[in-house]
Chains A and B, each alone.
Chain A
Amino acid sequence: MIRWYEFLFFYLWIAPHVFLAVVAVLLLNRNLVKSFPVFALYVWYEIAEFALLFTIATTGLSKGAWYVRAYLVTLAISTALRFGVIQEIFNNVFREHGPVDALARVSIRWTTGFLLIAAILVAIFFPGQTSNNLIAGAAWLGRGIAIIQCGLVLFLLLFSGMLGLRLQNYVFGIALGFGILSSVELANWAMHTGELSKPTARALNLLPTAGYHVAVLVWLGYLIAPSREILGPCDVPVSDVNQWNRELERFLP
């Protein structure tokens, strides 16, 4: 049982970062670094963060408070980068559409404000265990941030869908990956403040890395998968074109 758990624990810790390296290479190959510089930076940062934390954990350094400190500092940078990536996705989706871009900017500000209030209210009404240690404080903050990030991703997908904007495959993939990651992080931080039994907490300890693994696979999948075949102009028969023209001309003054 212990060996199985340890195998899964290390697999879920190491494998996503190997896949993340593939994502980084794909971003370079497909010239997407220009369009998504913050996402590319986030990917490289996550790989470097893993290398640092893995080294600390597998050497004697983890016996002190080094690991916790390094973990919290790198997590703070990672969280800031995630906000940057979400903003970058918004910019990419709406930049080309003139007045809609301005509306999107205003909407994202209002939505962030609304989500911030929601996160504060949830924290007040469902505080969980109150403890003064560093991890409990980080968990309290982490839950709020996860709610805001997941809410922003959902808003992006719903708002663009409502306006009839179809996101490019990889843009949708990046957003979906971050959404999944944020929702899993919310559950993860909830466990840090909750009153779960030790075996349950131990089993659920695998959740954040499993969620991260899923998010990385989503990014990888959407980057590898070709864009779905959509009807090109030449696929329309001439008779259809004529009929369409007649229908459309009816509406012109």
Chain B
Amino acid sequence: MSAAYVYIAIALLLAALLIYLAVRRRGRSLALDEARAMLNSLDIQAFRNLVNPEEEDFLRSSLPPDQFRRIRRERAWAALAYVRTLSRIALEFSRFGQAMHNGPDPRQVELGRQIVSGAVLLRLRALEATTRLFVVVAFPDVPHHYPRTLFEQYERSTGLLLRYRAPVHAQQEAS
């Protein structure tokens, strides 16, 4: 095949990808109900238990190796589903933050920036936890690292959002 056609094909593919990204961006909006439903569905305590190293030590000591490996894989898959939800919630947090960041009130602009930064870090932590959990799925005997930073970041982000909700509430009650 001619080299020119290869390059033209690469160029068309890249252009198509860029157009796809532009079109996809237009379709996105802030989905309050969806975000609330996701928050509702997330049982953070159950998630903490699933990745608790003490529980894993207990299972390791009380189950035969084969059964432990099977159960550990299942727990890792379940934890992965939680991380995925958490990651999607982080996206919604980021959109809230950006909505505030574009607002007229300078205090809210700053809070919006903090919410966005927190949400971005939460996405990163979720990505890190996903990688670690996939390692557990592949190698169930490898010791697991408790995703403390993920939970800490989540608490920080929800705390920031609560700070945002309170002034809005007060503002709406007053009007």
Contact = CB atoms under 8 A, between A and B. Distances in A.
A194 B103 contact: no
Interface in B102-121: 102-103, 108, 113, 116-117, 119-121
Interface stretch (B36-44, B56-64, B77-85, B137-145): B36-44
A143 B7 contact: yes
A242 B169 contact: yes
A98 B108 contact: no
- Chain A contact residues: over half helix, strand or loop, or mixed? helix
A43 to B, nearest CB: 20
A230 B8 CA distance: 38
A99 B7 contact: no
A161 B24 CA distance: 11
Q: Most A CB atoms within 10 A — which of B11, B42, B90, B120?
A: B11
Contacts of B102: 227, 230
A180 B5 contact: no
Given A100-B124, A103-B124, A247 B39 contact: yes
A96 B127 CA distance: 21
Interface of B: 2-8, 10-12, 14-15, 17-18, 21-22, 25-26, 28-30, 32, 36, 39-40, 42, 44, 90-91, 93-95, 98-100, 102-103, 108, 113, 116-117, 119-121, 123-124, 127, 154-155, 158-159, 161-162, 164-166, 168-169, 171-173
